């Protein structure tokens, strides 16, 4: 699955308010709830599983990118939310640099191959410096989505 497959324009936050990785995870899950991608009654359980995964090792992969993710039986399909922070978020990243792009995604429980494949595809795309820069410079969520759709459609 590509980034465009798991992301809807309404699940993009062009200016996150979060200052640390825990707030960022909550902010992105709240967006998934507010857009109906996640049932409100599952919000706490989903936040707990993502934070548990994040506690084992930061998903701040370097280059200003964080990819918090988890598997859960509370969703029927892979879903995601993308947040951008111009100020940067302390994500305890591998390179100790602030994170400017946070891509949270959730995979249905038991779909391990799809989970690994989605993570690899997103990480590969976000490692591209020109792509990251275009996302960071985009004026709004719609422009961010168009960039993602164009890049992953190739």
Contact predicate 52/85, CB 8 Å: no
Residue 152 confidence class, pLDDT cut points 50, 70, 90: low
Residue 154 confidence class, pLDDT cut points 50, 70, 90: very low
pLDDT in tens, 10-55: 999 999 999 999 999 999 999 999 999 999 999 999 999 999 999 9
Distances (CA, A) of 48 to 71, 87, 144, 148: 11, 26, 28, 28
pLDDT in tens, 94-150: 899 999 999 999 999 998 888 888 889 898 999 999 999 999 999 999 999 999 999
Q: How many other C-beta atoms lie within 10 A of the C-beta of residue 150?
A: 12
Q: For residue 151, is pLDDT > 70?
A: yes
Backbone angles phi, psi at 18, to 5 degrees: -65, 150
pLDDT in tens, 49-84: 999 999 998 899 999 999 999 999 999 999 999 999
Catalytic residue IDs:
69
Half-sphere exposure of 15 (CA within 13 A, CB side): 4
Q: What is the dihedral of CA 117, 121, 124, 125, to 10 degrees?
A: -170
Q: For residue 153, is pLDDT > 70?
A: no
Superfamily of domain 3-152: Mannitol-specific EII; Chain A (3.40.930.10)
Q: What is the pLDDT of residue 1?
A: 78
Q: What is the pLDDT of residue 68?
A: 96
């Amino acid at each position: 699955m590509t980034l465009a497959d798991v992301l809807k324009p309404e699940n993009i936050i062009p200016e996150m308010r979060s200052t640390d990785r825990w707030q960022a995870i909550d902010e992105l899950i709240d967006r998934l709830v507010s857009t109906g991608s996640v049932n409100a009654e599952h919000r706490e359980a989903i936040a707990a599983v993502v934070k548990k995964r994040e506690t084992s090792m930061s998903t701040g992969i370097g280059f200003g990118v964080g990819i918090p993710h988890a598997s859960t039986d509370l969703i029927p399909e892979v879903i995601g939310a993308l947040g951008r922070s111009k100020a940067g978020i302390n994500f305890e990243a591998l390179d100790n640099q602030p994170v400017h792009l946070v891509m949270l995604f959730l995979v249905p429980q038991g779909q391990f191959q799809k989970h690994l494949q989605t993570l690899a595809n997103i990480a590969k795309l976000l490692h591209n410096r020109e792509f990251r820069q275009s996302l960071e410079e985009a004026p709004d969520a719609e422009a961010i989505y168009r960039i993602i759709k164009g890049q992953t459609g190739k």
